[in-house]
A and B are shown apart, each in its own frame.
Chain A
């Protein structure tokens, strides 16, 4: 995130602000009358800007006033720095779409997903959705000090299931996550990161979501789990849900997604069918 905090002018230049985000024919997702007949949008992101206020600690890199640093310490240490992580992204996601999100580290992908999940307030623009989308991140533990079994119970209840519903789904969740029986009554902090991520995904995927956001969470799972989760993503799509998938593993995106957003420096660089965007993205990277 810190790498995007330069001046806005400096950033906008290389990304050609007019070309990237629009002018894609084909899908016609913008011209509302034509192609949205019978297809409902699930998420509308409208000129979204996200600005973090960060209390920067220490002096800005490269400052030279080492001699008087004790005198100048307080202002420079407490200055709130604005980090402009997302700079005007707009798109509309429809039912049944699986949308991959690619881009280099620090390009704003995760922030974008958090905003779509309603977890980060926008500083400008808006995100519209009919329910609160669910975000699955890599390091979002549920409750570390409680056992896997308690986490399944609590996660299910938090998602709005009744006690009986959770009990009915319990076995299914355990099997999906592929957690061995002997681990279930151990606290979740003793789980490997892969196990924890699998359990979280299994809990979240146990109810049908209109919109599910997956941030690298599948990458930690093993082969069998990846197969099951890809299958689950396809099911969610077929029940008129929308899935967003942030990943640096391009094969995972090509296998599951039908549309890809390429985010670079907080802006939408490209938005289109998977193959097209992934090809352009991998060419630019090499």
Chain B
């Protein structure tokens, strides 16, 4: 212990007279949001650089961004459309499946990349000071960059499979916007939880897998469990299912009379609530631990 150094209250007073603040805490929320806004170009540039670099080493390069979900959809189409044919398989299975798989890939990408966003940028976090919320946001932006070409291919497949092109297709824009808000919220939660308990990262594939199977990607929720009303309601509230339904509602024509593929006003309300609530809650949850990111 030292004696003559300004200690305890004295040090705090000296710091206060010279406008010094205690480090290792978190800035007030308004300051934090302002700092974050000042780094908006950083978030975009980081996402873009990583997006460009991600497939550099592969022979086919950026083509993988669309190849991966396409192959994925083909595999699931083979398994659930040919090998285990079930009665609950909707008509017009290909556009139904493709919209589901492609949209789910956006969610799962945000979830896993968001969880890793602090850890995989450790060098950046330890070298430079910036609001750490930039990192989960950048990981969602990176997924959004990838979503562009993926949605183009998705629309192409839907078109080829016989769905008519219509103005309603534009409704995928608000749908994906709300979904991106939701995904950013998930990324915030996952990023902070991974810092506290590294083991969370091990569980993410299983949570993703579970969500994949309950989110009505290769079956229509209301058809599959028509004799279990409670279960159907729960599965319909499931945010991933909500966003997939919104996208399908925009792309797939109503002529086929598929229950559960089409959105009603309630689905849009759920989409807005999930998106806004998850984003705000996730952001606050992430901000509260701002001082902890970057420690060993």
Contacts and interface: CB of A to CB of B under 8 A. Distances in A.
Interface of A: 17-18, 21-23, 30-32, 40-44, 46-47, 52, 88, 90-92, 115-122, 126-130, 132, 134-137, 140-146, 150, 153-155, 157-160, 162-163, 187, 200, 204, 268
B224 to A, nearest CB: 43
B5 A90 contact: yes
B127 A135 contact: yes
Nearest to A127: B23
Nearest to A187: B53
Contact of B23 (A128, A137, A140, A162): A128
Contacts of A47: 1-2, 5, 7-8, 11
Contacts of B2: 21-22, 47, 88, 90, 268
Q: Which 10 A-B pairs have CB atoms at the shortest separation, nearest pair first?
A: A128-B15, A157-B42, A118-B23, A46-B11, A90-B5, A128-B20, A132-B129, A141-B123, A140-B127, A21-B2
A22 B11 CA distance: 15
Interface of B: 1-8, 10-12, 14-15, 18-24, 38-39, 41-42, 45-46, 49-50, 53, 121, 123-124, 126-130, 134, 291-292, 294-296
Nearest to B138: A154
Contacts, number: 154
Contacts of B39: 157-158, 160
Given A32-B6, A92-B6, A157-B45, A200 B127 contact: yes
Nearest to A151: B49
A127 B24 contact: yes
A40 B14 CA distance: 10
Given A23-B4, A46-B6, A158-B124, A130 B22 contact: no
Given A46-B7, A88-B2, A92-B5, A121 B128 contact: no
Contact of A158 (B10, B21, B126, B130): B130
A158 B4 contact: no
Contact of A121 (B53, B126, B295): B295
Given A41-B18, A46-B6, A92-B5, 15 more contacts: A22-B2, A22-B4, A47-B7, A88-B2, A90-B5, A90-B6, A118-B24, A118-B129, A126-B12, A130-B18, A130-B21, A132-B129, A135-B126, A142-B128, A187-B53
A142 B127 contact: yes
A116 B20 CA distance: 13
A44 B261 CA distance: 62
A249 to B, nearest CB: 22
A128 B1 CA distance: 18
Contact of B4 (A30, A128, A143): A30
A128 B49 contact: no
A136 to B, nearest CB: 7
